[in-house]
Amino acid sequence: MSLNGCEHLNSFKAAFGSRSYFIIHSCFVACTSAEARRVKAQSCFCHTCKHRGLRVHACLSCVYFGCYGEKHIQNHAKSKKHNLSVDLNFGTVYCYACKDFVYDKELETLAKRQNKAAAASLAIRRQFAPWEPDQDEIELLRRNPKRRRVSESSHIGLRGLINLGNTCFMNCILQSLTHTPILRDYFLSDQHHCHMTANPQQCLVCEMGRLFQEFYSGVRTPYIPYKLLHLVWTNARHLAGYEQQDAHEFLIAALDVLHRHCQGTNGISYSNSHHCSCIIDQIFTGGLQSDVTCKECNNVSTTIDPIWDISLDLGPGPGTTAATSVASAATVTTATVGDPVGAVLGVASSAASDTSSVANLSPASGYTNSPSNSEPTSLIECLKRFTRPEHLGNSAKIKCSNCHSYQESTKQLTMKKSPIVACFHLKRFEHSTGYHKKISTYVSFPEELDMTPFMSSSRNNSNGYTNQIVRESAISLSCDNKYSLFAVVNHSGTIESGHYTCFIRSHKDQWFKCEDHVITRATAGEVLTSEGYLLFYHKQLLEYA
Amino acid sequence: MKDAQMRATINQKLVETGERERLKELLRTRLIECGWRDQLKAQCKEIVQNKGLEHITVDDLVAEITPKGRALVPDNVKKELLQRIRTFLAQQSSI
């Protein structure tokens, strides 16, 4: 496509300039004011059939609008010898002598500027524009002439990982992360700018970037992630050594280190971490709302804590002490301010490097997370149990900020903000005083999950503040909380020794089983009947902020 | 009100308020996300290659690709758009 128009457009421009194009474009294609939009709404119809079709063109030479589909504009062009028209939907110029759309550099620039102004006047933040490579990118493309095409059957992105001695816990997490669509897009579009300029070799985010490069390079031999392992060891000391580790613990530690390296700080706490916009927080951070209701005066105190994953209790209800998963984002929980009851319960951090500063003001344990006796057998049941109002017993009285006395209360957890990637941790490993055991119960989980019932906006509150607006918005937003499963981590064996494998989804619906260096095709059925330990779900729809 | 008249009124309202532009942007985003744009682009390329660049006009391409393009729009995208239009109309008391 050339940007030099055609001879007819050029002679038209030479005679009349680009003024008429500008007028048509700014009045009828991209309006920048309410008045212009009103005029557009009233006058954009075919002058021949009065129809407001999709493809109405405006003659560039005189005041005439006509349907393209019904050939009204073509007839006009023929009879009046007016060869040029403007499509009122897109602002493109059509030449009837050339029988084609023509593109002129000057008019294109004009249209682009006008489109931008029109979007701004409607507060549309991000308007789509096709990618136009800049000078550097053109040079890169020229130097790398090989193009790789991704088809339904291509295996690009699949690569085994060598086990470096009991490192299957790491391999399965790395497989899950490299197949997280939005994280992949981030790394493959080269969006990470290293903050550790003094020592870029120490940056785990850069190393992740290299891992993505390796995965998508097309090489089929297994990859040896020794540098990554070493970086994790040096940054999360408790995972160092060749012992078997917990995959969940590794995930949280990896996310924590990645999050810290995105900031360029080395574990130094920063005050603004509550509003962190690093890629890890953008993708994994959700908001967990905790509502504590005083039994005496029904005063509700609400706190919202950032979380990276949701840990769900298995096994029979009472007796299990609740260590809700606030733990995961422990580095961030420190900033919970204005929290009279200190609802940050059970902050038992596995990954946090600065746990010392975690505000653990409240009686941390002693309440049960589940009033029911039955063992949950599905993810939905686990989530129901997780978001159920629970009675904080006599032994866990909390000082009510309203009636200023220690009272019994109920507490309910809901999701205030759903993360882009929701990671569910089924607590199969039970560490109670005196014994450790693994719960191998089968817990079913769906391929598609709707989180709407567990959102704070759907909270069925007996204190009467659920008004209609809240409920209505919950319904209209319901498609925003739909998730698809894309990775499952499994553990086989006992609590003392076992093996981790994982299933990952490639393309839209192809499943693969990753067992260290071996990757085999799997069916959705196998995935859904497996004994899941960590479940990764991805949002189906993204809102662009 | 007659159907055509109703259609015209709704269209006018959408243009007047700028909602039409917002919907257009949303639709564009959704169609890119679900791969519709890439699919259609690939099909257009194929048609052009099969017929030869010299023997094809924009009109031919539009005629051939339009029914395919319509059929390929995912149901949930249509549903979302419909829902948005419904919500918009519900807010407009004057219709």
Residue A327: the pLDDT is 38
Q: Is A499 a catalytic residue?
A: yes
d(CA A411, CA A324): 12
**CB B87 to CB A476 under 8 A?**
yes
Residue B59: the pLDDT is 87
Q: Is the pLDDT reported for residue A417 higher than 90? A: no
- A-interface mutation test, from B14, B15, B37, B95, most A Cβ less than 10 A away: B15
Query: Residue by residue, what is the 3-state secondary structure of B5-55?
Result: HHHHHHHHHHHHHCHHHHHHHHHHHHHHHCCHHHHHHHHHHHHHHHHCHHH
Structure-token pair, residue A340: 């009279």
Q: Is the pLDDT reported for residue B36 higher than 90? A: yes
Residue A362: the pLDDT is 32
A340: number of CA atoms within 13 Å, CB side?
17
Q: What mean pLDDT is reported for chain A?
A: 79
Residue A391: the pLDDT is 84
What is the bridge-based pairing of β-strands A390-392 and A84-87? unpaired
The residue assigned the tokens 């029914």 is B67
- Give the E-state strand segments of A439-528 in sequence order: 448-450, 482-493, 498-506, 510-515, 518-522
| Burial (CB count within 10 angstroms: exposed 0-12, middle 13-18, buried 19+), residue A166 | middle
Q: Which of B13, B28, B58 sits opposite A100 (nearest CB)?
A: B58
**CB B17 to CB A121 under 8 A?**
no
Residue A347: the pLDDT is 35
Residue of A401 and A275 predicted with greater confidence: A401
| CB < 8 Å to A44, chain B | 15
A131 lies within 8 A of chain B by CB: no
When pLDDT is cut at 50, 70 and 90, the band that residue A479 belongs to is low
A200 CB-near residues (< 8 Å, 6+ apart): A194, A206
A476 lies within 8 A of chain B by CB: yes
Q: Is residue A32 classed as helix, strand or coil in its secondary structure?
A: coil
Chain B residue at shortest CA distance from A44: B12
Chain A residue at shortest CA distance from B63: A69
Q: Which of B18, B32, B57 sits opposite A100 (nearest CB)?
A: B57
d(CA A474, CA A302): 19
d(CA A517, CA A365): 42
**CB B16 to CB A38 under 8 A?**
yes
| CB < 8 Å to B87, chain A | 476
Cβ atoms within 10 Å, residue A373:
9
* Active-site residue, selected from the candidate residues A168, A172, A294, A502: A168
Residue A469: the pLDDT is 45
Q: Is the pLDDT reported for residue B5 higher than 50? A: yes
Tens digits of residue pLDDT in A9-49: 988 888 888 888 998 998 888 888 888 888 888 888 888 88
**A26 DSSP 8-state letter:** I
Query: Which among A287, A298, A324, A305 is positioned nearest to A457, based on CA atoms?
Result: A287
Q: Which region, left, alpha or beta, applies to residue A33 given φ > 0 means left and ψ of -120 to 50 means alpha?
A: beta
Tens digits of residue pLDDT in A129-186: 777 888 998 998 999 888 877 777 778 888 999 988 888 989 999 999 999 999 998 9
**CB A40 to CB B15 under 8 A?**
yes
Tens digits of residue pLDDT in A336-370: 333 333 333 333 333 333 333 333 333 333 333 44
d(CA A275, CA A303): 16
Chain A residue at shortest CA distance from B87: A476
Cβ atoms A431, A315 nearer than 8 A: no
**CB A479 to CB B76 under 8 A?**
yes
Residue of A523 and A267 predicted with greater confidence: A523
Q: Is residue A202 classed as helix, strand or coil in its secondary structure?
A: helix
The contact set of B with A (CB < 8 A) is 7-8, 11-13, 15-18, 21-22, 25, 28-29, 32-33, 57-59, 76, 80, 83, 87
Cβ atoms within 10 Å, residue A109:
11
Q: Is the pLDDT reported for residue A94 higher than 60? A: yes
Taking the C-alpha atoms of A481, A392, A463 and A386 in order, what is their torsion angle to the nearest 10 degrees? 10
Residue A423: the pLDDT is 94
| CB < 8 Å to A100, chain B | 57-58
**CB B29 to CB A544 under 8 A?**
yes
Mean pLDDT throughout A494-511?
A: 88
Taking the C-alpha atoms of A396, A401, A402 and A406 in order, what is their torsion angle to the nearest 10 degrees? 30
Residue A440: the pLDDT is 86
When pLDDT is cut at 50, 70 and 90, the band that residue A544 belongs to is low
Mean pLDDT throughout A4-11?
A: 88
| Burial (CB count within 10 angstroms: exposed 0-12, middle 13-18, buried 19+), residue A280 | buried
Q: Is the pLDDT reported for residue A106 higher than 50? A: yes
Q: Considering chain A, what percentage of its residues have pLDDT values greater than 70?
A: 82
Chain centroid offset of residue A279 CA = 9
| CB < 8 Å to B95, chain A | none
Residue A444: the pLDDT is 92
Cβ atoms B88, B3 nearer than 8 A: no
Q: Is the pLDDT reported for residue A481 higher than 70? A: yes
Mean pLDDT throughout A501-507?
A: 91
Q: What is the count of residue pairs from A and B with beta carbons less than 8 Å apart? A: 48
Q: What is the DSSP string of A102-127?
A: E-BHHHHHHHHHHHHHHHHHTT----
ipTM for the assembly: 0.86
Query: Which among A233, A257, A211, A258 is positioned nearest to A167, based on CA atoms?
Result: A233
- B-interface mutation test, from A128, A147, A476, A543, most B Cβ less than 10 A away: A128
Say if pTM beats, i.e. exceeds, 0.80: no
- A-interface mutation test, from B13, B16, B34, B44, most A Cβ less than 10 A away: B16
Cβ atoms within 10 Å, residue A413:
27
Q: Which of B12, B76, B83 sits opposite A42 (nearest CB)?
A: B12
Tens digits of residue pLDDT in A242-290: 778 889 999 998 998 888 888 754 444 444 445 677 888 889 988 999 9
* Active-site residue, selected from the candidate residues A8, A51, A499, A517: A499
Residue B95: the pLDDT is 57
A73-77, A277-281, A354-358, A459-463: which is most confident:
A73-77
**CB A128 to CB B25 under 8 A?**
yes
Residue A176: the pLDDT is 94
A253 CB-near residues (< 8 Å, 6+ apart): A232, A235, A236, A238, A239, A350, A351
